[in-house]
């Protein structure tokens, strides 16, 4: 079982101790400047004390979390986010082991998405998630058909995101409040089965020479489009 302080231990791994394939990325190079040291002053008391992690209080908190969650246990953070999660769901197809899933999960966490659904292969590269998958609900579906059936049972409207002929521009589309935004893989894009099951496919306006943008970037753009239409910005950090 992973200890509540596993986040802290993972974040404090020194670069020269990491294996070559686990080298730190740009967002981690200056991680030493972030976080806080051991708790100073009297320890938290009363009912609120239960949300704090004793190890983090004693050793400091270097995790990738907002300041409001410093020293909180992983379980307490997830429980608090659950009180504010949006009705938005995100799904990404993973038939070719897409490396962008970690980025999608990290962005979904930032926007308090209800659940990220992985369609196809169960395993995915978690490096891009920057440990945010520990606070984000995830669900696996073996096929697009099973995902669509699940969405129908939950009353979610499926909207595919892809740049194909006949798409609705995301910039002018009205996204349903109870949406499941479905993304394809880098390269092949959304499968035909997914597009056929979606109420519409939305495209992201592009103006340069590239045929497509990174799947992780596209997911972030689409999530924020939903946020602009439906989220209560008073609840943001």
pTM above 0.85, yes or no: no
Distance of CA 53 to the CA centre of its chain: 23
* Chain segment 155-203, per-residue pLDDT in tens: 999 999 999 888 999 999 999 999 999 999 877 889 988 999 999 999 9
Return the domain boundaries, the chain: 84-235
Q: Other CB atoms closer than 10 Å to residue 207's CB: what's the count?
A: 4
Between 99 and 77, whose confidence is greater?
Answer: 77
Q: Report pLDDT for 5.
A: 47
Fold (CATH) for 84-235: Alpha/beta knot (3.40.1280)
């Amino acid at each position: 079982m992973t200890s509540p302080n596993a986040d802290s231990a993972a974040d404090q791994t020194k670069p020269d101790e990491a294996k070559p394939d686990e080298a730190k990325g740009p967002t981690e190079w200056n991680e030493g400047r972030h976080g806080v040291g051991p708790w100073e002053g009297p320890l938290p008391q009363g009912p609120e004390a239960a949300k704090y992690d004793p190890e983090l209080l004693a050793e400091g908190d270097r995790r990738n979390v907002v300041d409001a969650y410093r020293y909180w246990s992983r379980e307490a953070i997830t429980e608090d986010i659950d009180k504010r999660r949006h009705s938005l769901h995100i799904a990404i197809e993973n038939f070719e082991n897409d490396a962008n899933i970690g980025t999608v999960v990290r962005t979904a966490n930032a926007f308090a998405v209800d659940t990220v659904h992985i369609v196809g292969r169960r395993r995915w590269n978690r490096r891009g998630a920057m440990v945010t998958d520990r606070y984000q609900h995830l669900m696996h579906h073996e096929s697009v058909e099973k995902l669509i059936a699940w969405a129908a049972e939950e009353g979610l409207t499926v909207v595919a995101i892809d740049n194909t002929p006949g798409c609705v521009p995301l910039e002018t589309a009205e996204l349903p409040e109870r949406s499941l935004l479905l993304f394809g893989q880098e390269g092949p894009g959304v499968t035909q089965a997914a597009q056929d099951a979606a109420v519409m496919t939305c495209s992201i306006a592009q103006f340069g020479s590239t045929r497509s943008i990174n799947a992780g970037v596209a997911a972030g753009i689409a999530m924020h489009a939903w946020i602009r239409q439906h989220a209560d910005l008073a609840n943001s950090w």
